[in-house]
Amino acid sequence: MAYSPARIAFFPLLAWCALVAPVAQAAAAKYKTNLPPSADLAYSIKARQGGLMINGDALLQWHAAGGKYVITAETRAMLVGKILDEKSEGMIDQYGLAPLQSTEKRFRKQPTAASFNRQTRTISFADSPKTYPIKGGEQDRTSVIWQLISVARGTPARFKPGSAWTFFVVGQRDAESWTFKIVGQEKIATPLGEMNALHILKAPPPDSKEQQLDIWLAPSLEWYPVRLRFTDADGEYIEQTLETVSKK
């Protein structure tokens, strides 16, 4: 089968591509949060897409200081180069991360953006007429993992197998509620060594063809994500494994 760069353009990686049916928006619970230290995290990527095994890498930069945060992520695939740029920036409030702007640029696609206007308390999109009210605790697809990490660090005793954590997540054209369920502790092999990690699952609805997301957070490494795996209904997948961490 011929190699297809177009197929690579739709890697979700640290962005979240799966769409679900719209749900009612509710105000988020106010969880206790403890933001992780600022750091650069480098990941290796392996994937099976369209019957091909594909490799790549990603660099995620997380910075939080002075009541503000910035997250940037750049993903590259072999043979085609950069396939994804993401950025989320905003404030830190009583809920934790409070995005102001979320942008995404995919391979051979125009940039898209979502804006969180804290004065009018409205969420809007560059490529969609939809709007949502800001009720508190809303995240974008780049910030939500770091909000989850911050909640885990703030309330580690509550992150037990069977517990569930729901966030209202804004994409580039719409928004929906995501629920993360705690699976349990597992050992994960990484270039940094074997680590005890907490396995967290965002599963699609029953009988859905949407994507499943698995996240492994390492409490011994500031709760940074040491592995992420995106699995399609047909069994194809994309997996990221942490290779290096440089704290700032």
pLDDT at 207: 65
**Cβ atoms of 138 and 176 closer than 8 Å:** no
pLDDT at 81: 77
Q: Determine, yes or no, domain membership for 89.
A: yes
Q: How many domains does the chain have?
A: 1
pLDDT at 83: 76
pLDDT at 234: 81
Q: Which residues of 196-232 are buried (b: 16+ CB within 10 A; e: fewer)?
A: ebbbbebbbeeeeebbbbbbbbbbebbbbbbbbbbbb
Q: At 80, which CATH number?
A: 2.50.20
pLDDT at 28: 67
pLDDT at 66: 97
Query: Which residues of the chain are under the pLDDT cut of 70?
Result: 1-24, 26-28, 49, 205-210
In 3D space, the residue among 158, 217, 176 whose CA is nearest the CA of residue 36 turns out to be 217
Q: Tokens 């966030």 appear where?
A: 167
pLDDT at 194: 96
The boundaries of the domain holding residue 147 are 30-247
Beta strands in 17-162 (DSSP E): 39-49, 52-65, 68-77, 81-93, 96-106, 112-117, 122-125, 131-133, 139-140
Q: Determine, yes or no, domain membership for 15.
A: no
Q: Determine, yes or no, domain membership for 241.
A: yes
**Cβ atoms of 91 and 100 closer than 8 Å:** yes
In 3D space, the residue among 70, 41, 34 whose CA is nearest the CA of residue 149 turns out to be 34
pLDDT at 122: 97
